[in-house]
Amino acid sequence: MGTLKEAIAQLRWGPLQERRARGLVYLHDTLAGTAFHRKYWVVMGLLLGYMRDGGPIPWDRDVDFGFLEQDLPQLMTALEEMRRKGFSPCRLQVNNDGRITKWAVRREGVKYEFFLFEQRGDRLRWYYHRRKPAIEVVNEIAAHGLDEFELYGRRWLQPENADAYLTVLYGNWRVPDSGYKYWRDCGATVDRHPWTGERRWA
């Protein structure tokens, strides 16, 4: 199904790499006019691709960001602006406690995901959910500051020690590993259990 969707997206909007590049620029510029500007940072796959290859992983149709729980009101306002600018909302991901842990929008076949990070003392916690089988993965990493980097002519934020961050998540992240599964192999995982599978529309 994913391959079919991508084929249709290519016919409608062109190659993935071009759609994702212009989508990231458009997203950045859209959020720059909101209170959510500089409240989010690049995480997971997008950060891995940038650090290892200088740009997104070629085949990745998801773009990952993190934000702190305290900035959720700003994200809610920014989501309205994103919708006005042509981003389509996706279903919200709900953890086993009934709390929304990820918001996402889509544009031209590329998905932009915003993971909520909870501050727990000197740790940051976030949730990852897999649909088949339905698994909830709880991750934690040391709290960190943020640094800037440039991608597509825009300034973005990333964890201040991106190397150490990626090492926790991926191990030897400089060497691509085709067998790596985030829900199974992430080194930041502190708990993993069956998930209710609840998703809902905003």
Question: Most distant CA pair in the chain: distance in Å?
Answer: 48
According to the model, what pLDDT value does residue 3 have? Answer: 81
DSSP secondary structure of 73-134: HHHHHHHHHHHHTTPEE-PEEE-TTS-EEEEEEEETTEEEEEEEEEEETTEEEEEEEETTTT
Residue with tokens 């953890």: 95
| pLDDT tens, residue by residue, 13-70 | 999 999 999 999 999 999 999 999 999 999 999 999 999 999 999 999 999 999 999 9
Q: What is the pLDDT of residue 9?
A: 87
Give the β-pairing of 62-68 and 110-120.
parallel
Q: How far apart (Å, rounded) are the C-alpha atoms in residues 104 and 106? A: 7
Inter-axis angle of helices 16-32 and 2-13, to 10 degrees? 80
> Is the per-residue pLDDT at 76 higher than 70?
yes
pTM more than 0.85: yes
Whether pLDDT at 202 is above 80: no
- Reported confidence tier of residue 5, pLDDT bands at 50, 70, 90: confident
Residue 1: is its pLDDT beyond 70? no
Distance CA 200, CA 91 (A): 5
Is residue 2 over pLDDT 80? Answer: no
Which are the contacts of 67, defined by CB distance < 8 A and separation ≥ 6? Answer: 36, 39, 40, 41, 75, 114, 115, 116, 117
Separation of alpha carbons 168 and 188, rounded Å:
6
Section 84-95 average pLDDT:
96
Task: State pLDDT tens for residues 108-139.
Answer: 999 999 999 999 999 999 999 999 999 999 99
Domain positions in the chain: 2-200
Distance CA 151, CA 104 (A): 21
Kindly indicate the confidence band of residue 6, based on its pLDDT and cuts at 50, 70 and 90: confident
2-200 placed in CATH 3.30.460: yes
Q: What is the pLDDT of residues 149-193, one digit of tens each?
A: 999 999 999 999 999 999 999 999 999 999 999 999 999 999 999
